[in-house]
């Protein structure tokens, strides 16, 4: 079972992603609606993979990852970003800060689990 932490401010996207990932049978999904909540949760929970929305109120996905990476436990945990603004320069920037993969929104719920598994393989 792959422990995944999904950080996303949009409740509909959280629900769709959670259903899609849990239906695959390969993921245990924990969710937070903002970076601050993710930082609080990760004090007691260590996921196998991070799935981060890029644009959120408060902390962005990038800021959330940077704060998580301050803890050495999170150095090697793959980080996958979901963004509606998947321009080539943004993709390069995200990869430069340690993104394993970038998934464009709107995403395909039917292929989400395969995309994540391929990214962390």
Q: In what order do the strands lie in the sheet with 49-53?
A: 27-32, 2-7, 49-53, 79-83, 99-104
Higher per-residue confidence, 90 vs 106: 106
Q: Reply yes or no: is the peptide bond before residue 82 cis, omega within 30 of 0.
A: no
Q: Is 6 exposed, middle or buried (0-12, 13-18, 19+ CB in 10 A)?
A: buried
CB 37 within 8 A of CB 5: no
| pLDDT tops 90 at residue 88 | no
pLDDT digits 0-9 by tens, 40-62: 999 999 999 999 999 999 999 99
Mean of the pLDDT values across residues 26-33? Answer: 97
Residue 86 has pLDDT above 80, yes or no: no
Q: Which of 20, 22, 27, 29 is nearest to 1 (CA)?
A: 27
- Cβ atoms within 10 Å, residue 109: 14
* pTM of the predicted model as reported, rounded to 2 decimal places: 0.94
- Residues 7, 50: Cα–Cα separation, whole Å: 8
Predicted pLDDT at 71:
93
Q: How far apart are CA 44 and CA 110, in angstroms?
A: 31
Q: Which domains occur in the chain, in start order?
A: 2-114 (3.40.50.2300)
In 54-96, the DSSP E strands lie at 79-83
């Amino acid at each position: 079972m792959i422990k995944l932490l999904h950080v996303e401010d949009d409740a509909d996207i959280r629900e769709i992603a959670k259903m899609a990932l849990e239906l695959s049978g390969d993921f245990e999904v924990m969710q937070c609606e903002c970076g601050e909540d993710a930082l609080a949760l990760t004090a007691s929970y260590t996921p196998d993979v991070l799935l981060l929305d890029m644009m959120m109120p408060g902390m962005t996905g990038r800021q959330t990852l940077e704060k998580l990476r301050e803890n050495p436990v999170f150095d090697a945990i793959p980080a996958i970003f979901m963004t509606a603004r998947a321009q080539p320069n943004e993709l390069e920037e995200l990869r430069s800060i340690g993104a394993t993969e970038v998934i464009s929104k709107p995403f395909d719920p039917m292929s989400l689990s395969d995309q994540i598994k391929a990214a962390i393989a």
